[in-house]
Amino acid sequence: MEAVELLVGRFRGSMVGALMGDCLGAPFEAEPRAARSVLNSYFKRLSCPDIKVPYKAYTDDTAMTRCVALSLIQEKGYNAEDMAKRFVKEFYAEPRRGYGSNVVDVFAALRISKFEDVYGPAAWQFGGSGSYGNGGAMRVAPVALFYHPAPDQKVVSVAKDMALITHGNRLGYNGAVLQCLAIREALHTPTNQLDVVKFIQSLKEMMKKVETLGEDEILEKGQIEFEYTGRLSRLASLMERGDQVSIDAVEEELGNDISAHRSVPTAIYSFLRASNSIPNIEAETAFMRTIHYAISLGGDTDTIASMAGSIAGAFYGIAEIPESLQRHCEGLAEAIQQADQLHSLATNTHPPPS
């Protein structure tokens, strides 16, 4: 029973972690990089039990993550057409969640075509090269949770297909695969046994298989076959340097923008770096240190913090996420409910009591 409760806590941690990174990181997106002292004050203020502020609204990151979770729950597995329809319905119901113009074009094409080919509109974008943004990676957490007991090949396949609905470029869908594998690796790692070197090496080994070109695959001009494998090597080098690594160095080596290959490795690095104390970051838990650090990197703060939060939440569990901060996020109850339903289906058990 204790093992079940622990896993439930990790499922909840991943879904709530993704939500919190999104909600708390959104105010800093595309703004000048926030100093650590500013972020310390921001989180300290929100943690005050007497403070009353409006909900921190979630963005398209969470809106699409919820669609992925709902589809997996309702269909009891991956159904491309159902998921695509949920994305489109969600967007047209609430279009002002911060969606990018490219994905909106995909939604419009899907609706006009009546979902005849759910992968077609994304594949045809940018002259047939597809998008390499991080929109597939930002919503993949429910896939990692639902399929966590499945073989690697199944997890990779579903993560890739889920991303292909909107991101037809190799960098876009492989970014979703890496993020999915990172969440799953965190979920399977005992909380008191995080070996950073082993964690990175495990991801490198899996991504090398993923990135090895198939017979029918052709690299586009300027693309590297082992893009993510190489970036994981850079990540490992940064970890070896510890506190000597500046934010500028992280941006240069890993990135902090909306492209998948320049944000997913950054989210993973944020989780691993924050597993130990970081100078000038005041945080109640290692989970909150992860969110704080991810936001401090600037750039696409909501998505990078959301991806880092989903990994950290899967590792630390919801008990390490302060309730004083959870309460500020729009959609908290839904995130917890979906986590419980995903756990129930993944383990064939009944949802735990709230």
pLDDT digits (tens, 9 = 90+) for 69-83: 999 999 999 999 999
Whole-number pLDDT of residue 22: 98
- In the annotated binding site, the residues are 59-61, 300, 302-303
> Does residue 352 sit within a domain?
no
Could you give the percent of the chain with pLDDT greater than 70? 98
CB 323 within 8 A of CB 279: no
- In the annotated binding site for Mg(2+), the residues are 59-61, 300, 302-303
Whole-structure pTM value: 0.96
> Does residue 220 sit within a domain?
no
> Does residue 292 sit within a domain?
yes
Total number of domains in the chain: 1
Q: Give exposure, 52-61, as e/b (b: 16+ Cβ within 10 Å).
A: eeeebbbbbb
pLDDT digits (tens, 9 = 90+) for 147-186: 999 999 999 999 999 999 999 999 999 999 999 999 999 9
Q: Provide the residue range defining the domain that includes 189.
A: 2-212+226-347
- Joined tokens for residue 332: 């908290």
pLDDT digits (tens, 9 = 90+) for 260-319: 999 999 999 999 999 999 999 999 999 999 999 999 999 999 999 999 999 999 999 999
> Does residue 340 sit within a domain?
yes
Q: Using alpha carbons, list the distances in angstroms from residue 93 to 96, 116, 140, 211.
A: 9, 21, 21, 37
> Does residue 287 sit within a domain?
yes
> Does residue 334 sit within a domain?
yes
> Does residue 105 sit within a domain?
yes
CB 201 within 8 A of CB 195: no
**pLDDT confidence of 50, banded at 50, 70, 90?**
confident
CATH value at residue 123 = 1.10.4080.10
d(CA 260, CA 60): 16
> Does residue 180 sit within a domain?
yes
Q: Give exposure, 216-240, as e/b (b: 16+ Cβ within 10 Å).
A: eeeeeeeeeebbbbbbbeebbebbe
Backbone angles phi, psi at 44, to 5 degrees: -65, -40
CB 256 within 8 A of CB 304: yes
* Averaged pLDDT, 219-241: 93
Whole-number pLDDT of residue 349: 56
With 80 as the cut, is the pLDDT of residue 91 above it?
A: yes
Whole-number pLDDT of residue 2: 67
* CB count in 10 Å sphere of residue 100: 14
Whole-number pLDDT of residue 156: 98
Residue whose tokens read 């500013």: 38
